[in-house]
């Protein structure tokens, strides 16, 4: 398992203003934990983290050098951002090993123009842009890419139908919808069926509204 070194400094868990001072100094408060690993409060350089989270490197396998001591295998499991500045405010590092699987969120990239849209006048809709996998550290994919050119209309593609890479298992619900291709005529039929029901609901609500005015 090839690891990328990331320097970290241990810290004492303090008040929020202590974390604010760290961030002002270009450091990000973080915690390192996992199976057989006591939680360790640390801080890491914001500049170094940006390199680790560069496009295509979301799950870089790391060796945290805590106070100069290596031998702490990890990945970034989760992180929080400031709602306004989008700067990372906190990171969770989770311990990894060669044979253990971790739950990761991987983007879904669909390529090609479906036959159902190109020649059959269908309507395409991507319902999920991410999928959850349980994967061994060395097998975590950067993206799940799929060519959908051959799909026709009236198709609902579920997460369970994905051909997953080696070392990965589906962690999303099997019937999570990834995309649909619906014929326009079906859309019109659904709208026509919904209209009477909506009208009936409005008619039923009208007497109640009139009573409230009285």
In tens digits, the chain (214 residues) has pLDDT values of 789 999 999 988 766 778 888 999 999 999 999 988 889 999 999 999 999 888 888 889 999 999 999 999 999 999 999 999 999 999 999 999 888 899 999 999 999 999 999 999 999 999 999 999 999 988 999 999 999 999 999 999 999 999 999 889 999 999 999 999 999 765 555 555 555 555 555 555 555 554 555 4
Cα–Cα distance between 95 and 84 in angstroms, integer? Answer: 30
Cα–Cα distance between 80 and 98 in angstroms, integer? Answer: 27
Q: What is the pTM of this model?
A: 0.73
Can you say whether the dihedral through the CA atoms of 200, 201, 202, 207 is positive or negative? positive
Cα–Cα distance between 104 and 135 in angstroms, integer? Answer: 7
């Amino acid at each position: 398992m090839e690891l990328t070194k990331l320097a970290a400094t241990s810290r004492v868990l303090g008040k929020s203003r202590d974390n604010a001072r760290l961030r002002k100094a270009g450091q990000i408060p973080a915690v390192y934990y996992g199976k057989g690993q006591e939680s360790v409060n640390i801080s890491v350089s914001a500049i170094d983290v940006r390199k680790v989270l560069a496009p295509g490197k979301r799950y870089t396998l790391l060796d945290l050098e805590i106070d100069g001591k290596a031998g702490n295998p990890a990945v970034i499991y989760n992180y929080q951002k400031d709602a306004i500045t989008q700067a990372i405010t906190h990171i969770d590092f989770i311990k990894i090993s060669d044979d253990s699987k971790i739950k990761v969120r991987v983007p879904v990239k669909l390529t090609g123009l479906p036959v159902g849209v190109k020649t059959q006048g269908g309507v395409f809709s991507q319902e999920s842009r991410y999928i959850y996998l349980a994967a061994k550290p060395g097998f975590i994919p950067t993206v799940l890419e799929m060519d959908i050119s051959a799909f026709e209309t009236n198709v609902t593609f579920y997460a369970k139908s994905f051909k997953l890479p080696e070392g990965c298992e589906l962690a999303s619900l099997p019937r999570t919808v990834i995309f649909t291709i619906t014929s326009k005529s079906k859309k019109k039929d659904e709208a026509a069926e919904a209209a009477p029901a909506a009208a009936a609901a409005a008619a039923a609500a009208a007497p109640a509204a009139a009573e409230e005015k009285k």
